[in-house]
Structure 1
Amino acid sequence: MSALDNDEAVKAAQAIELVEIDDGYTLRNTPDEDVVHQHDIQQIPEQDITQQMLNQSAQNPEAWLMYGGGYEQQRFTTADAITTDNVSDLELEYLIETGVSNSMEGTPIVVPGDPPIMYQTNGPNHGKAINARNGDVLWSYTYSNPQEVHGNQGANTKLLLCCDSNNRGFAVYGDKVYMTTLDSGMVALDRFSGEPQWYTSTADYRKGYSATWAPIVWNDQVLTGSAGGEYGVRGFVAALDPENGDILWRTYTTDPERWVETSYEQGCATTWMTPTLDQESGTMYCPMGNPGPDFNGAVRPGPNPYSCGTLALDATNGDLQWNFQESAHDVWDYDSSSPKVLIRDQELHGESRNIVVSAGKTGWVYTNDAENGKLLRRSEETVQHINMWEMIPHIDEERRISYVPGAQGGNDWQPPSYSQETGLVYMKQQNTPHELMWLHEEYTPGETYWGGALNDWPHVSNPEGWNGHTSAVVAVDPVSGERVWREWIDDQNYLWGGSLSTAGGLTFLGTQKGKFVAYDSETGDRLWESPNLGAPISSSPSSWYDPGTGKQYVAVQVGGSGWLRHGRRGSTVAVFALEGQQSQQQGQQGQQ
C-alpha cells in the first residue's frame, strides 16, 4: 500500500472537480477547510531560508529556491555534473506519485540540506514537501478553495476560472512557503509541518479575479499580481508582509489618466505570471496581459497602457518606472505573460547595458534597456507571421481571418531560459492559427468579458502560406536578434511549459509527446531523451546538485494542461539524476 493511500490531503484534492460552465470553469467538492497530512516531517532540516540565500540562489548549484532559479528568471543552473559528453547516461532516479491527476504546470523548488527538500505544487492548490534525495513525501496540503454557492437573491458566489485550475509553484522564505490560490489569495504554510499560518485575499474572486503563478519574496515582501483578464477585472501588482499577510502596497495597472473615460475600470492588463527582479536597483519587471475586453477595442480607445508588454516598478513601493508595449491597443489576445529575463552587462550599440528580454505572443523576442525600457532589438521571427495586425471581423460577418501567431502565441506563459555559457535564450513556441471575432458586450461583474469569440486550431481555415508546423523549440541571441536554431515539433497538442539551461551546456524541456529532452544548447542537437512518461509535459524543470549523493538532479512535472486543456492529465514528478563531479564550489557559500 502506498503512503498516499491514506493521505487525507490527497483524498481531498482527488475529490475536487473542475467543471465547465458558461463563464469558463469552476470547482466543486472542495473541502470545507484546509487539509494537511503529515508523513515523516522529521526529515526536514530545521533551517530558515535567509534573504542572502535567496540572493545567491542562481549561483548556488545545490539550490533552486524560486520559480526561475533566481530573481533574474534566467532558469539557469550552475550545476555542471551533467554535460554534453555524459548526458546520454542520464537515468530516471525516481518517480513521485502526487496522487492528484490535475494540471501539472509548476516548477519544483529545492532547499539545500541533508537531505535537500523539494516543495512542489499542482492544481487545484495542492502542495507537498518531498525528500529530494529519494522522493519520500513528507507532508501534503490541500487548500479549501470556495465552490459554487447560491447566495441571497441569486448573487454570484462561484469561483471563476478562465482556463484551468493551475498552480505553478511555491515561494520560500524563513520558515514558510507561500502559494497563490485560485480565489485570488495567498496562503503561507509552515514549511516544516505544512500547517497554514495565514491567508490573505488580494481581490474578489466573485468578480473573476484569480491567481495561479509562483510568487517571489524580496526585502521582506511577498510580491504578487493579478489574473482574470477575461472577466473585466482591473489588474494590479501587490506586496504582502511575509509574516502576517498584510498588504503593504498595491499598484493598479490601468492608469485612469491614460485610459479614456472609465474604460480603465474593466481594462484588465493583469500580471498573471511571476515577476523578475533586479536586486541592485530594486526594480521589478512584470509580464503584462491583454486589455479588456479581449477582442472589442472600440470600448477602450487608445494604446491601453500597460497591457501586452513589460511594466517596470519600484519593488519597494510599487511606483512606476517605465513600460513597453509589444501590441498596443491589442485585439488579438497577444499577452506578454512569460517571465522577463534580466541579463547584466551586455554590449549593445557600443555601450554596456543591463537588458530585459521578453518573449511574448507576437512571435518576436524584444530586448529592452533595463533602466529606461528603450527598445534595443527586436529579433528575427521565431514563428510565422500571417495576417498579423489585420483587424478582426465582427462575429456576425461571414468572413473569417486566420492569424499566425494565434491567440496562444508565439510564446504564451511558458518561461524561457538563458544560458550564461552560450548567451542564447531558449523558448517553446506555437505556430498554429486562430480565428477571432468581435462583438459588443456589456460588462457584468462575474461574467466573461471577451468582447467576442475565437475558433481554436485545428477548427479553423488554415491561412495561405502556413507551413503546417504546430510548435517549435527556438534559440535566439537577444543581443544580435539572430534566430540561431529552431526545431519544429508537430502534434495535436500545444508545446507547453518552460525550459532549463545548465552550465554543462545543456537545455532541458518536455514535449507534448511525453518526452523529456536534453539539447546541446549551442547547436540544438538532441543529445538525450527520456522514455515516454505517459502524458504531455506542460511544466518547467528545475535542477540541483546534491553533495550527499554526488549527483546532479533534474526534475519535471508530468501532465497535460495547456491552452483550453489540451492533453491528458498527469499526477507525477519525474526526477532524473547522474553521478558526477561538480566543478563549482558555490554551494556552501549559498547556504551562509
Structure 2
Amino acid sequence: MSLEEDRAVQAAKDTVVRETDQGFRVLGSPDKSVTHQHDVDRIEEFDVTNEMIQESGDNPEAWLTYGGNYEQHRRTTADVITPDNVADLEVEYILDVGAGSSMEGTPLIVPGDPPIMYQSNGPNHVKAIDAREGDILWSYTYAVPSDVVLCCDDNNRGVAAYGDKVFMTTLDSGVVALDRYTGEEVWHTSTADHEEGYSATWAPIAYDGMIFTGSAGGEYGVRGFHKALDAETGDELWHTWTSPETEWVGDSINQSCATNWMNATVDVEQRRLYLPIGNPGPDFDGSVRPGPNRNSCGTLALDMDTGERLWTHQEVAHDVWDYDSAAPRVLIRDMEIEHRNTTKDVVVSAGKTAWLYTMDTETGELIERSEPGVQQLNMYRMIPHIDEGRRMPFMPGAMGGNDWQPPAYNPETGLMYTKMNNSPQEAWWRFEEYEEGKKYWGGILEDETEAVPDEYNGKISAIVAINPETGERVWRDWIESDAYIWGGMVTTETGVVFTGTQNGDFIAYDGESGDRLWEYDLGEASIAGSPMSWYDPETEKQYVAIQVGGSGWLRRGAGGRDTRLAVFSLSE
C-alpha cells in the first residue's frame, strides 16, 4: 500500500502549521485521531521491560529510550563501524515518511526479527517501521486541537516504549498511549490546559510502571511542572511544580515558567530524576520577578516515587537572556575526579551559556564548570529598555550555546560531544500585561542583528568535544552557515561520533581528535534530528539513522521542510 493511501499520513499532510504573532498555530488537524495499519503481523509481541531498557545501553541491537539508555549517553555498543572503516558507510535506504513538518526526533529500535523502529515527527505523527526493510507497518496521527499555540514549531522529538505500548507527548500538553503492535490508541491524558499556553514536544520517559513527562510554554506565562503517570491507565501519580512559592516574590510565581521541556534522566540506583529547567517568565522583563528566580535555568533533582524535590543547581540567576537549560542531563557513574582526589556519580548539563556543568548527584554541588564551547561576548550584561534607544548584542544569544539538542557521552574517550550555536542576538525589555494563552515575553528578541560585537568570529555554530571531569575543551569544529545548528549527537563504542548540520551534511568524526572521517550530503534541508544506531544480527550490519528536515526556528537559511528518514549501514 502506498503512502498516498495511508489515512494517518494524509491526516498529517492536511495539518498545516502557520507562524503568527502569537507563535505557531496548528490548523487542519483531523477531528479524531487516525491509525492506519499496513502489515502489523511482522511485529513480534513481547513486553519491553525495565530490564531491557536498562540494558539497552549495552545491547548493540537496541535503542529503547530517547537517550539510548536511562543515563542519556546516546552511545551504542555496536562496534562494526570504526574510525578505520567508517568511510565505507553506505546508504541502506532513504524512507519518505510522507508527513514531514518538524523533523527533530530520535527513533527507537525494539530488537527482534525484524527489529521494529518507532519514528515520530511533527505534527504528532508516529510510525512503526520494519527497520531491516524500511517498510511502514502502521501509522498514527493525533488530532491536535485547532486552538493550540506553540512558541517554536509543531515539534515532536520521539516516543517511549514500555510494556506493550508506545507513548508520545501531544502538542496540546498531553500524553497518548498506543498499542505497540497495532498503533491503536489506548488512552490519552491531558497534563495541563493548552488554552493557558501549555504544550508538549519531548519524548516521555518510562520506568517501573511510570511515564514521566514535563511542561512547555515558557513564552506564555505558565508555571512549570513535572509529573508521573501510570503507564497502564494514564492516571496521574504525582505532580511537582518546578518552582516552590517560597522562592518567588508576591504573585510572580503564577507566571514563573521555569518549564521542564525536555525529558528527565533516570537514576535507577538512587531512584531519582534529573530535570533540565528553562527560563523564568516573562523572558526579558525581570522587573516583575525580583530576586534570583531560583530553580529556573538549571537542574532539578526529584524523588521518582513521590516527586519530592531533592536539590537544585541554578546556572543563570535572574535570567533576562532566555538562557534555558533545556538539554537532557547526562548521568556518569563513578567518575574519577583527579583534581579533587575522589570518585563520584555526577550529572552533567550542557546549557545555553556554552559551559558544561558537572554536578554531584547527591547534593547538586558544582564540581566543574568547563571552558566555553563557543564565544561569550557581552554575556550577562543587562539588556536595555525598548525606549532607551540602546543596542546590546550578546553572545551566546537566546539560541545558545547548547539549546535543547542532546549531547552524547563516550566512556571510552571520557568526552561529551555537543552542538552549540555561536550567534549574537539582541533583546529589549518592556512591561507587558499578562493575558492567559498569549505570548508573554516582556520584551522583544531580534533573531538577526547587524550590530555584532567586534570580537565575533563570524562562525554561526560549532561542534565541540569537552571533558566533563576537567572542563577542558578538547576539540572544536566551527561550522559556517546562514542558519542555526539544531539536533543532537550519537557516539559509538569504537570512538566515532555522528551528527548532522544545518547545511544538510551528515558527518562522522573521530571522537578523539575531531577529524572528519566521512560526510554525506543530504541536500539543502537542515538536519535538526538526533541520530541513533543499532546492530542487526540477521544482516550482520550496523545501522545509523537520522531524520532530515528543519524546525521553524531555523529561519536563517533556505533549509526548510523535508520528509526523509535516512538509514546508513556497514557490513561486518
**TM-score, scaled to structure 1:** 0.95
8 Å CA contact 1:561–1:569 kept in 2: the answer is: yes
1: distance between equivalents of 2:467 and 2:17? 40
Q: Which residue of 1 aligns with 2:132?
A: 133
Q: Which residue of 2 aligns with 1:64?
A: 63
More off after superposition, 12-21 vs 422-431: 12-21
2: distance between equivalents of 1:17 and 1:57? 37
| Superposition deviation, residue 224 in structure 1 | 0.4
Q: Which residue of 2 aligns with 1:587?
A: none
Q: How many residues align?
A: 568
**Superposition map of 1:1-400 within 5 A:** 3-147=2-146, 158-348=147-337, 349-400=340-391
More off after superposition, 67-76 vs 461-470: 461-470
Q: 1:571 aligns with which of 563, 566, 569?
A: 563
2: distance between equivalents of 1:163 and 1:34? 23
Q: Which residue of 2 aligns with 1:551?
A: 541
Q: Which residue of 2 aligns with 1:517?
A: 507
| Superposition deviation, residue 454 in structure 1 | 0.8
SS of structure 2 residue aligned to 1:46: coil
8 Å CA contact 1:533–1:558 kept in 2: the answer is: no
2: distance between equivalents of 1:520 and 1:544? 19
| Superposition deviation, residue 363 in structure 1 | 1.1
2: distance between equivalents of 1:443 and 1:409? 26
SS of structure 1 residue aligned to 2:454: coil
1: distance between equivalents of 2:466 and 2:554? 28
| Superposition deviation, residue 160 in structure 1 | 1.1
8 Å CA contact 1:494–1:562 kept in 2: the answer is: no
**Superposition map of 1:398-413 within 5 A:** 398-413=389-404
Q: Which residue of 1 aligns with 2:475?
A: 485
2: distance between equivalents of 1:104 and 1:305? 33
1: distance between equivalents of 2:521 and 2:383? 43
Write out per-residue CA displacement over residues 440-461 of structure 1, whole angstroms, 9 at most, x where no aligned residue: 011110111100011112x331
| Superposition deviation, residue 536 in structure 1 | 1.1
Matching residue's letter, 2:141: T
2: distance between equivalents of 1:447 and 1:234? 14
SS of structure 2 residue aligned to 1:298: helix
Q: Which residue of 1 aligns with 2:428?
A: 437
Q: Which residue of 1 aligns with 2:408?
A: 417
SS of structure 1 residue aligned to 2:542: strand
| Superposition deviation, residue 373 in structure 1 | 0.5
2: distance between equivalents of 1:420 and 1:574? 27
| Superposition deviation, residue 562 in structure 1 | 5.4
SS of structure 1 residue aligned to 2:246: helix
2: distance between equivalents of 1:565 and 1:456? 9
1: distance between equivalents of 2:416 and 2:452? 29
8 Å CA contact 2:217–2:259 kept in 1: the answer is: yes
Matching residue's letter, 2:206: V
8 Å CA contact 1:538–1:562 kept in 2: the answer is: no
Gaps of 5+ in 1: 148-157, 581-592
Please identify runs of 4+ aligned residues in structure 1 that moved more than 6 A.
none
8 Å CA contact 1:408–1:563 kept in 2: the answer is: no
> Aligned pair in 2 of structure 1 residues 579, 240: CA closer, same or farther (>3 Å)?
same
8 Å CA contact 1:496–1:562 kept in 2: the answer is: no
SS of structure 2 residue aligned to 1:262: helix
8 Å CA contact 1:163–1:564 kept in 2: the answer is: no
1:471 aligns with 2:461: yes
| Superposition deviation, residue 255 in structure 1 | 0.7
8 Å CA contact 1:35–1:142 kept in 2: the answer is: yes
Matching residue's letter, 1:201: S
2: distance between equivalents of 1:460 and 1:72? 41
| Superposition deviation, residue 565 in structure 1 | 4.5
| Superposition deviation, residue 534 in structure 1 | 4.3
Percent same amino acid at aligned positions?
A: 59
Write out per-residue CA displacement over residues 456-502 of structure 1, whole angstroms, 9 at most, x where no aligned residue: 12x33111211111100000000010000001001011111000010
Matching residue's letter, 2:86: V
**TM-score, scaled to structure 2:** 0.98
2: distance between equivalents of 1:207 and 1:19? 19
8 Å CA contact 1:179–1:215 kept in 2: the answer is: yes
Measured on the aligned residues, the alpha-carbon RMSD in Å equals 0.9
| Superposition deviation, residue 532 in structure 1 | 2.8
